[in-house]
Amino acid sequence: MMNEAEQLQDLLHAAMEGNIASAHVRLRTLAEDDFSSFYRLVKNEDTCRMMGWPEMKKPALAGVFFDLYRQTDPPRWFALEHIPSGHFCGCMEISLNSPLARQLPQLQERTCTALAFAILPEYRRRGLMKEFLPVLHEYIFDHSGFDCILGTCFAENTASASVHEACGYTRIADDGREQVYARFR
């Protein structure tokens, strides 16, 4: 039986191959050509606040993060590509669950992966993540061996909370500032 790190490796490999897609969104490796769109995403104050990122108004700082995201081995950050247009529409992190989440009683016997995503403002409110996440969940549960998927969002990020809830997540922790959601097999 594979451990969580090995399960994550398999999942990340599928993401790198671009094999996970819905009708309108594909998960793929971040490409150098994605930087200008990534920069538009991370210079948006709301996006940075909701993701817990520092403000990245200067291209040099955004470039440091972009290069870091592209150079992790294995990669944890991926591009979300809007299939009809072929353009970068956001990014997603796939990682093992956080140590904080491991402390939650509901997760003690679970093998969990965690997802985080950010969408460019012009692609928001189109239902793209509500369409894509169930496809990703199915892939994770059918192919990776994980039996739990975690997502977090700040309490003020009602749009993200709505996406999590619409995609079958249950809020399992809320400290008033941040909410932890889980989607169980």
Res 74: pLDDT? 77
Nearest to 44 by CA among 34, 62, 56, 32: 56
160: containing domain:
4-184
Q: Is 159 helix (H, G, I), strand (E, B) or coil?
A: helix
Res 102: pLDDT? 72
Instruction: Report how far residue 50's alpha carbon sits from residue 47's, in angstroms, rounded to the nearest whole number.
Output: 5
Question: CATH code at 115?
Answer: 3.40.630.30
Q: At residue 146, does pLDDT exceed 80?
A: yes
What is the tens place of the pLDDT at every residue in 5-55? 777 777 777 777 778 999 999 999 999 999 999 999 999 888 888 888 888
Instruction: Report how far residue 177's alpha carbon sits from residue 154's, in angstroms, rounded to the nearest whole number.
Output: 6
Res 56: pLDDT? 87
Total number of domains in the chain: 1
What is the tens place of the pLDDT at every residue in 76-102? 889 999 999 999 999 999 887 666 667
Share of the chain above pLDDT 70, in %: 96
Higher-confidence residue: 137 or 111?
137
